[in-house]
Amino acid sequence: MTSRLRRLLLRAAPLLVAGLLRTASARAWIYSEHRAITAQGIDTLDPARRRSLDDLWGLAREGHAARLCASPDAGDQAGRPGCIDFSAWPAISADHACSPQEMLAVVLDSGWILNVAAIADTTGDAVARARNESERRNAQMNGDLRLERVDREYSARARANTAHHMLPRSENDAASYLADVLRDGSPPSVVGLYALLHAAALHRAALFPPPGASASERGAEARLILALEASALHYLEDSFAAGHIAGLGGPTAVLKGTHDYYNEHGIDTDTWENEPVVLYGDGHMRPPDLERAGDAVRVSLRQVLDALWEDSAIRCTAAAIALPEDVSEGTFSVCHAVPMPGWTSPPDLTADLLAVIRRTPRPPRGPGYPSLPRFRAEIGPFVGVASGFQGEGADGGFAANREGGLVGSMDVGLRLGVGIDALLGDSGDGLVFVQGGIVLQSRSSGGCGNACPTDPLLSQYVPGLPARSALNFRLRMPFWLIPGDLLFAAPVLGLTNPALLEKMAIVAADGGLVPWQTKLSTPIGSLQFVAGREVGVDLFGYLGGRDAFVAAVGRTPGGAAAFEPVAFRSIEWDFPILELRPLREYGMRYSFATYLQLGAGFDTPFDAESLVPGQPVPPLKTRYFGFLRIFFDGRRYF
């Protein structure tokens, strides 16, 4: 590695690590699940309130009938949605927009939201049809990659929005918990944001219709009421995802690892009403999860619709509440709201909020109390040891008359790096490391053909390649479009355009601009095309002096084979192409994995010298080889 490249790497690494670490966010239900939960809530409304919702939706469609579906719940759109229904609004909120007003702009004016809806529909269908966890992961990963390319801010928005989780409770009382999550300075959380945005929807509904308003103004106000409630419902629905109950705070690696584990394997807990529940999460929703979350949505919608009725008790209560202006106007951004703005629910409204919140799962207590087992994703700096075996098959040796053959080698090395489970979970690969170690390589099984001595005792000392040892170095880093591009982009963009660098790093970690390097889950492990992400270099002839072998240089005048001992050094480059990880074990700090790599490389000799004084060096050539490598990788994360 040149000194210039080392300087670039030292400058680039901190910037890349910071950008990639920030990608490790975690969403709750996937789009299709959010839409199904909202539809469940709508479809279980009583007839009077359903008519009220239909009327409000009809007003909201004024001037936008081409984009907004005729019904708040348009049902199965068969993967080809031509309109957006209200059931989709909570799915769009927070994941594809940062505020209620931005969500309205996306729904009504963007050119890409129908593509998002189509991708989400087909992804949801593929997840539902998955026969095993590998198929489910691949379906979800493919959907997320397609969403990433349609909604350019998809990953960056997820990284910025860390409010999809619950905060731990300090007491067993739901009212105390509500006060805690709304307190000025509290971190944004699903219950706190639900209560804040739902209160805003109630307040706007209680003041509807505005005195003397025109039809267009009434339509705009109806859309804002529904946008505020849809944003609130996104977080209410998130509170029923197992990973968002168990993944309470802590370092990013622990938050994400715990989130992923419980979403897949479920959690046995209870609600604030002491009802036992078993919950799953993102991409794993079961009918009981749908019914339970849909029931909470039904109660929440019923309150907003009741606030529209002049003779309802909740209308009077909601009309009198005071909220921060950005919350009431729908410009409050969940992507930048740290901490909570500070708002205290009046006692009368608190009772209405608690009627919904008590149906949600009760989160675990915080530090200092017995807690659920925590898990860690492979995120953060690590030191590790890697050791393995490699078999090479070459086209020939260094001398022109050398046969090909098989070569075996064993290596051991020390790794320093950063592990980054990418935004798309373990389907991404943001792994960055440098490695240094040693390699011991066997002699080649090939010889020198007809040029070799006929005596088998003598011919065994003329191999195509001698046994030797080397210093080994490896580098692995994701790339955006071409190998090494982030390494050179980081020093420039880190100073001039950090936001662009971060987006490039997110795409690189998720498989690249052309996503052929995304991991595929299979029943035998994760499979990944890794060409360009990793390179190894072996420096032969630097441990104990130059290597030597006997080169056949022709025939003597008498017809006997002529030989000449040659000393040389060489540089061997290897490039993994395909990688399979069949085994991975992970604890809170330590990981162990087995990998198989299939790749190709070349070995170039140099600094050759004849060991016979006065004799010229015979011509040597580069040898090309393919290899299969199995190695074991153990890491300790910090």
Q: What is the number of other CB atoms lying within 10 angstroms of the CB of residue 487?
A: 19
pLDDT at 128 exceeding the cut of 70: yes
Q: Which of 308, 313, 298, 299 is nearest to 225 (CA)?
A: 308
What are 502-532's pLDDT values in tens digits? 778 878 877 788 878 888 888 888 899 999 9
In one letter, which amino acid is 445? S
Angle (CA) 510-252-249 rounded to 5° is: 140
- pLDDT tens per residue, range 573-613: 999 999 999 988 877 788 899 999 999 999 999 998 888 88
CA distances from 84 to 93, 111, 121 (A): 13, 12, 12
The interaxial angle of helices 31-43 and 215-238, nearest 10 deg, is 110
Residue 370 pLDDT: 67
Distance, C-alpha 600 to centroid of its chain: 29
Q: Does this model's pTM top 0.85?
A: no
Q: Which two tokens stand for residue 494?
A: 């880190």
Q: Tell me: pLDDT of 272 over 80.
A: yes
Confidence of residue 424 (pLDDT cuts 50, 70, 90): very low
Provide the residue ranges of all domains of the chain, joining segments of one domain with +. 25-357, 377-477+533-637
* Helix axis angle, 113-129 to 133-150, nearest 10°: 180
Angstrom distance (rounded) from CA 465 to CA 469? 12
Whether the CB-CB separation of 282 and 289 falls below 8 Å is answered with no
pLDDT given for residue 6 in this prediction: 46
As beta bridge partners, residue 574 has 536, 601
Q: What Å distances lie between residue 22 and 114, 149, 156, 495, 563, CA to CA?
A: 28, 19, 9, 18, 61
Contact 282, 370 (CB under 8 A): no
Considering only residues 171 and 571, tell me which one the structure prediction assigns the higher pLDDT. Answer: 571
